[in-house]
Amino acid sequence: MKKYLKKALIYSLAIVLMVVAWHVVYKIVANDYVVPSPWETFSKLDDVWNNSKFWVAYGNTMLRSVISFAISFVVAFVLAVLAKKSNLIRELLVPGLSVLRSIPTMAVVLMLLVWLTPKAAPIAVTLMVILPMLYTSILSAFDQVDGELISMCKVYKISWIRRVFGVYLPISGAYLTAESGAALSFSVKLMVSAEVLSNTYKSLGGMISQSKVYMDMPEMLALTLFAVATGMIIELLFKLLERVLFKWRVYD
Amino acid sequence: MIKLSNIYKSYGREVVFKDYSISIPKGQITAIMGPSGSGKTTLLNILAGLIPYKGTVEGMPDVKAYVFQQHNLLPNKTLLDNVKFAAPKCENPEEILNLLGLGPYMNKYPSQVSGGQRQRAAVARALAYDAGVILMDEPFSSIDRDLKLQLITEIKAIFTERNITCVIVTHDIEEAKLFANNIVEL
């Protein structure tokens, strides 16, 4: 308990120091359109919090982020299982995934906007970026499973499905949960960026884009702070999930 | 009889077995002895079907169990679940664990029990699998002497009573003499 209290105090101190630094920069720049005051931004946070339109936009952005993450995870998981089972499939996937990894995100958003609607384009772009990331994480997690355990599975004729759900997933699960938390948090950030570029209606990114049009810097920052907080909460929740789901690791 | 004839196995340029033949009697414990690098584990892996080789192996049942040197229990499962995972058809895994003195520990994770108890759990898993042959790769190497002697006596009694065919690999002559009915030198 004492350890958690100490950690909470250190984190609070870090936040206070960041706000102080922000205030100092605000005073030095002395231009509300460039750097808004922290106090004005916090007051805007309160306005945004009490605005029902914000919650609709926030809900849409989160839903889209979760959809792209879920699709990416399922596809990456299936591909990683197939790649683990067959070296040919693993090799066949390398060029395609390398292309996906190297495509500039912003260029893809602009191209996808031509082909898709502003609501669908951010989902597609997030999916394209998250998919190779998750595939690599899942496959390297599978690769880290001790080869001796796999020999044991072969001798005891444990089927592939049972190996995946009884050996690979639980053993690499803790690492995968942490990686998934980071990937979901990243999808939110990507989704907001893609929505800003697509100017998606009723979305967090769309609202940020609107604030930019009206040069409402405090609102822009307030909305950005919501996105940052969401990412941090997601990673925290996944860390908690990891502790609950993989209790056996405490003894390992 | 399990008969291995004209076995050829190499790792790159290093030839481990060339025209090697051996017969292993069924219903008995056979110890394969030899210094490090003589191919003891390779021979066991050939019998287990874990590695490719040239030559013929006759009389080896399809269902075989393996007690690995490092037990290879799943860290995410309790001892009981480890046994159930490898031998889902076993109707009395608790009984087998009790037989090996693991009754009070069956709901503990491998990391919560001693090295000797982990090895017993690995033996319990092999017994529960109801295999035609149990292969053991230096299963007592990481256990202190007193416990080793106790385990050898207990496990040998169970194997003898059940008429189990066992092939054990070891470099310890005392272990081989105490545990096995036949000793083969590589």
pLDDT digit of tens for each residue in chain A (252 aa)? 677 788 889 989 998 999 999 999 999 988 888 888 888 888 888 888 888 889 999 999 999 999 999 999 999 999 999 998 889 999 999 998 888 888 887 788 788 888 888 888 889 889 988 999 999 999 988 888 888 899 899 999 999 899 988 888 888 888 888 889 999 999 999 899 888 888 888 899 999 998 888 888 888 889 988 888 998 899 889 888 888 877 666 555
Q: Containing H/E element for B19?
A: strand B14-24
Output b/e per residue, A22-35; b: 16+ Cβ within 10 A. Answer: beeebeeeeeeeeb
Same-domain pairing of A168 and A108: yes
Q: Do A128 and A193 have their domain in common? A: yes
Strand B133-137 relative to strand B64-67: parallel, antiparallel, unpaired? parallel
**Chain B residue with minimum CA distance to A252:** B111
Q: Give percent of chain B with pLDDT exceeding 70.
A: 99
Looking at the structure, do residues A19 and A112 belong to the same domain, yes or no? no
Residue A48 lies in a domain: yes
Please count the structural domains in chain A: 2
Residue from A233, A210, A230, A235 nearest A220 by CA = A210
Map residue A239 onto helix, strand or coil. Answer: helix
Domain-located, residue A22: yes
Q: Is residue A170 part of a domain?
A: yes
Whether the full predicted model's pTM is greater than 0.90, yes or no, is no
Q: Domain of A135? A: 42-250
Is residue A19 domain-shared with residue A75, that is, in the same domain? no
Of A149, A155, A157, the CB nearest to B74: A149
Query: B78-103: per-residue pLDDT in tens?
Result: 999 999 999 998 888 898 898 888 88
Contact (CB<8Å) B74/A170? yes
Residues of A in contact with B77 (CB under 8 A): 166, 170, 248
Q: Is A35 domain-assigned?
A: no
- Residue A55: partners with Cβ closer than 8 Å, 6 or more residues away: none
Burial class from Cβ neighbours inside 10 Å (0-12, 13-18, 19+) for residue B19 reads exposed
Judge whether B170 and B33 are in contact, CB under 8 Å.
yes
Q: Would you say residue A36 lies in a domain?
A: no
DSSP one-letter code for A35: S
Is A216 within 8 Å of chain B by CB?
Answer: no
**What's residue A1's pLDDT?**
66
Q: Considering CB atoms only, which of B48, B65, B111 is closest to A251?
A: B111
Q: Is residue A176 part of a domain?
A: yes
Look at residue A60 in the predicted model and tell me its pLDDT.
Answer: 93
Write down the pLDDT at residue A62.
Answer: 93
pLDDT band at B131 (very low <50, low <70, confident <90, very high): confident
Residues 166-205 of A with CB under 8 A from B: 166-167, 170-171
Which amino acid, residue B131? A
- Within 8 A by CB and 6+ apart from A148, the residues are B68, B70, B72
CATH of the domain at A134: 1.10.3720.10
Whether residue A144 is contained in a domain is answered as yes
Give yes or no: residues A117 and A189 share one domain.
yes
Question: Within B49-114, where are the H helices?
Answer: 79-86, 93-99
* A37 occurs within a structural domain: no
Residues A11 and A97 in one domain: no
Beta carbons of A156 and B76 less than 8 Å apart: no
> Which residues on B lie below 8 Å from A167 (Cβ)?
74
